[in-house]
Chain A
Amino acid sequence: MLNGLDIEGDSLLHRMPVRGKLIALFVAAIGLFLTAELRLLVPALVLSAALYLSTGIGAGEAFRRVRFVLFTVLLVAGANYLFHSLHEALAVFCRLSTLVLLAAAVTATTGISAFMDEITRLLTPLERFGFVRAADVSLAVGLVIRFVPEIFARYGEIADAHKARGLPVRPLTTLVPLIILTLKDADTIAMAIDARGFRRH
């Protein structure tokens, strides 16, 4: 049910290390907000679109993934056109779309486990201050991926139970049993984790 958004491939971005990609994305974001020059922003947009498509993602899938964010970008650009100038609208549109496409390109070329490894590495310095344990974060991510299909199935069962009794499926009457039934499992799951010694200190 939960599949990552990464595409298999061997493009330039695929071969780049995760940290390098994230730093490049961050630098690009700062750079894009420093300029309002269309002579720079339009080529940047073309370049980022080319980069996104070079990941081997099909054009249809590429558009499907970013259409919602691009829609909000378009609304913001439209507001700029209505209340200010065309130049301002184009600058905002190019700047934000470039950033969205670059971010989508990073996501399309980075596997979930590679990304998670990088997060674990970034969190390790925080362990020294006792903030968070990197192993706990990976454990929690694993648990979510494991339990989403089960909770979704449970929602279906609760909705069926409503229909069997001739009751309308309302958010409130389904939500409360869903939450209580799910959270009641916490004790047994926690015991199972401790019994296996996953969180050794």
Chain B
Amino acid sequence: MTTRDIVLVALFAAIIVVLGLLPPITLGFIPVPITAQSLGVMLAGCILGAKRGAAAVLLVLLLVAIGLPVLSGGRGGLAVFAGPTAGYLVGWVFGAFVCGLIAERLVKEEQGELTQFLAFLAAAVVGGIAVVYLFGVPWLAYMSGKAFFETALAGLVFVPGDLIKAFVAMLAGRAVLAGYPLLPQRA
């Protein structure tokens, strides 16, 4: 990684932290409030690509681990990793990586607008949702002992909110690609 890559990773990690400071939005038709922070995970992959995106998310988790309250709602410290939902946080790193991998492969600057939108949406849904749940749900199930099936099912209430975030990540990913392209030059 060049110095510029390290700076980009750090700046994006700072953006993810700032997204956690913004108040959560409640939408009428979804039972849980939406925080912008997991949107940052999809954006990291869509904007910085696989390696730098995953590094930015990993950096945020490092800040959490050393005791800075940088997760949404001022959460932080090792206790977050001891809770039943820690799998989602671990999934963030791999999610950003897969999201970046798909965006790097599918998105080309000379493509039409619609193709780029679809590619970013695929990256955000597969990386930012599917991969994150792939880590989060089994972890939650393991931590919940015998009621693993029921708790895993309950974890799915977040899917509608995450789909909205994937949509926002798609729009924002393309807008940033048009305004300040970073995705084509991979780290």
Point out residues on A near B: beta carbons under 8 Å. Answer: 2-6, 25, 29, 36, 65-66, 68-69, 72-73, 75-76, 79-80, 82-84, 88, 91-92, 96, 99-104, 106-108, 110-112, 115-116, 119, 136-137, 139-141, 143-145, 147-148, 151-152, 155, 171-172, 175-176, 178-180, 182-187, 189-190, 193-194, 199
Contacts and interface: CB of A to CB of B under 8 A. Distances in A.
Given A99-B82, A112-B67, A140 B10 contact: yes
Interface string B1-22: 1111011111111110110011
Interface string B123-152: 000000000000000001001111100110
B174 to A, nearest CB: 9
B121 interface: no
B68 interface: yes
A193 B3 contact: yes
Contacts of A116: 66
Contact of B4 (A111, A155, A186): A186
A160 to B, nearest CB: 15
Interface residues of B, number: 62
Contacts of B6: 136, 139-140, 143, 190
Nearest to B48: A183
Given A104-B77, A107-B78, A151-B15, A83 B147 contact: yes
Interface stretch (B96-104, B108-116, B175-183): B175-183
4 closest Cβ pairs, A-B complex? A107-B77, A143-B10, A103-B78, A69-B83
B43 A179 contact: yes
Contact of A193 (B7, B47, B150): B7
Given A4-B66, A180-B179, 8 more contacts: A76-B145, A79-B154, A100-B82, A116-B66, A140-B6, A183-B180, A190-B6, A193-B3
Contacts of A107: 67, 76-79
B84 A182 contact: no
Chain B interface main SS type? helix
A182 B22 CA distance: 17
Contacts, number: 204
Given A144-B63, A155-B22, A182-B11, A68 B146 contact: no
A189 to B, nearest CB: 5
A121 to B, nearest CB: 13
Nearest to A70: B83
Contacts of A180: 176, 179-180
Q: Which of B7, B47, B68 is most buried by chain A, counting CB atoms within 10 A of its CB? A: B7
A179 B47 contact: yes
B76 A5 contact: yes
6 contacts: A2-B70, A108-B77, A140-B6, A145-B68, A151-B14, A183-B11
Nearest to B75: A68
A175 B172 contact: yes
A183 B10 contact: no
A6 to B, nearest CB: 6
B106 interface: no
A189 B5 CA distance: 11
Contacts of B3: 190, 193-194, 199
A188 to B, nearest CB: 9
A148 B63 CA distance: 12
